[in-house]
Structure 1
C-alpha cells in the first residue's frame, strides 16, 4: 500500500471543475418520501445517467451533491434545490434530460443552471406554501388568519430529536392570504362554505424553521382553528423576499434551461 505523503489526501479524487444547480419537484405519492430517500434516489439516478459527479477524498468517498432546505416529509414541492459538483463540464440542458429520464415519476427535474456567485444559500431566504384544507369554510379560515396576523408573537411547541423547542410562528410569517378552490376571495356572507379553503403563506427562513404545520398550530392557538382532515401542503417557490413580499427566482439572471 502506497504511503500517503504529508499534505496529500488519501485516495485523491479528480477535482471539481463545474457545479450545476438543479431545481426539481416532489409530486404525488412521492411527497411522502423522506429527505434521505430522495437523496438516495438522486445518487442512484446520477450513477445510472453516467453523470461525471465529483467525489470527496478519503477512504469512503461520497458524491459531491449538496442540498438546500428540503421540504418536510408529506409535503409536495415545486421548488426543491440541489447542487452537483462535476469532474468535467456538462451542458445543463443535457443534465436535466438525462436525470429526469432515470428518476421515478414524481421526482421531476425542472431546471438546471451553471452555478455562479453568490452561493445558492444566499439567494433563498423564504418559501411560498400552498396549504389546501378540504371541508373548511374560506371565511372561517380567513378569520383565523386575520387573528394570527394581528398578533406580534405566536409561539407553538415542536418536538425535535433534542427535545421540545418553541417556534415563534408570527416572526417567520411574512404574509398569508386565503382563497377558495375557484381562486376567489372568501365571501363575507355568513354560512358560505367552500369545498376547499386554501391558505397561501410566505414564510421566512429562520432557526428553528417555521413549517406549514406550525402555521396551522398557530391558527389553533389564536382562534381554535383545527381542520377536519389533514392538509395537503405544497411548496410553490423559494427565493429572496423583497420589500413587496415577492420572491425572486434563485436562478435569475443565470437561467439556462427550463422544463415544464
Structure 2
C-alpha cells in the first residue's frame, strides 16, 4: 500500500497519493458471503463507481485494497474494515455514497475516512460480539456462562489448515454475559462477548463450543452471531473503541 512503483517494473502504475479507510457492514443474508466473494463484489463496486484506485505493478496488476480481520462466513457484522489506495485525492463522503450505491443491499458502507500514519491492523485489538440463541432461555444461557467463566481454561478443537488443533478459548474471552431478547416471540437468550484478538483468533463458534463443553449449553436452533465493534481495547473497563477515531482527530 505504500511507495512509488518501480518505473522499470512490468506495467508500472501511478503512485498512491491518498489512502482511505472504510468501515462496512454485512447484514441479513449477506452474512453468508465469504471473504473471497466479498472481495470480488467490492472490486466490482470500485470499478462501477469509477473510484481512481491504485494498482500494483507487475504482469498481473491488482487493485490496492487491504483487508483487516474479516469476520467468519455466516457471521453478521457492523464493523468490518479495509483500506484502499487512490491515485487521485477524493472526498471521503463522496466515495462512501458511490460505493454504497454500487454494492448489493446487505453490504453497506458505514464510514470512510482519510488514513493517517499507523497501521489499521494494529488498532484492531479486540471484538465485541452479540450471539442470539433462539429457543434458549436466559436461565439456561446464564448457567452455561457461569460454568465457562469459572473455568481456568476451556479447551476446544478446531480443524485448521495443518490439521486438528486444540485451543484455549477461555483465555481470549474478556467479558461474557447473558440477557433475554425481549423482542423475541419465543425464548431467546442473547450473549454479549468481548474477545481479544489472539493468534489464532477465537471466533464466536469457538466460544459456543466452549460453552457447550464447560457450561452444558444446548442449542437446537442455529445461533446468529453479529460483530458490533472491533478496535482498540480499553484495558480498564474492557470496552472496544473506534479504530478510526485517530484518523478523524488528526484531520
TM-score by length of 2: 0.93
Trace 1:161-172 onto structure 2 (pairs within 5 A): 161-172=161-172
1:194 Cα shift?
A: 6.5
1:147 aligned partner: 147
Partner of 1:226: 218
Matching of residue 195 in structure 1 with residue 187 in structure 2: yes
* Contact 1:129–1:200 (CA under 8 A) maintained in structure 2: yes
- Please say if residues 124 and 243 of structure 2, whose CA atoms lie closer than 8 Å, have aligned partners that are also in contact: yes
2-structure distance, mates of 1:68, 1:36: 13
Q: Whole-Å Cα distance in 1 between the matches of residues 35 and 165 of structure 2?
A: 21
How many residue pairs get aligned? The number is 242
1:214 counterpart = 2:206 = yes
2:232 aligned residue: 240
> 2:65 & 2:160 partners in 1: Cα distance?
26
Question: Which 4+ stretches in 1 moved above 6 angstroms?
Answer: none
Alignment deviations for residues 47-69 of structure 1 (CA, whole Å, 9 cap, x no partner): 00000000011010000000011
Query: 1:212, 1:137 → 2: CA distance?
Result: 19
Q: Is the 8 A contact 2:123 2:243 kept in 1?
A: yes
* Corresponding residue of 2:77: 77
1:80 and 1:158 map into 2 onto residues whose CA distance is 23
Q: Where does residue 159 of structure 1 map in the other structure?
A: 159
Q: How does 1:47-196 map to 2 (within 5 A)?
A: 47-182=47-182, 195-196=187-188
CA shift, 1:222, in A, is: 0.7
Does the residue aligned with 1:241 lie in a helix, a strand or coil?
coil
Superimposed CA distance per residue, residues 172-220 of structure 1 (whole angstroms, 9 cap, x where no aligned partner)? 101011110129xxxxxxxxx9621000100010111100000010011
User: In structure 2, the residue corresponding to 1:128 is in which secondary structure?
Assistant: strand
* Contact 1:54 1:63 (C-alpha < 8 Å) held by counterparts: yes
Q: In 2, are the aligned partners of 1:17 and 1:86 still within 8 Å (CA)?
A: yes
CA distance in 1, matches of 2:177, 2:214: 17
Q: How many angstroms does 1:224 deviate by? A: 2.2
Note if 1:204 corresponds to 2:196: yes
- Give the SS at the match of 2:141: helix
CA RMSD of aligned residues (A): 1.6
Mark the runs of 5 or more structure 1 residues left unpaired by the alignment: 1-5, 184-192
Bigger Cα Rg = 1
Structure 2: runs of 5 or more not aligned: 1-5
The answer to whether 1:249 aligns with 2:227 is no
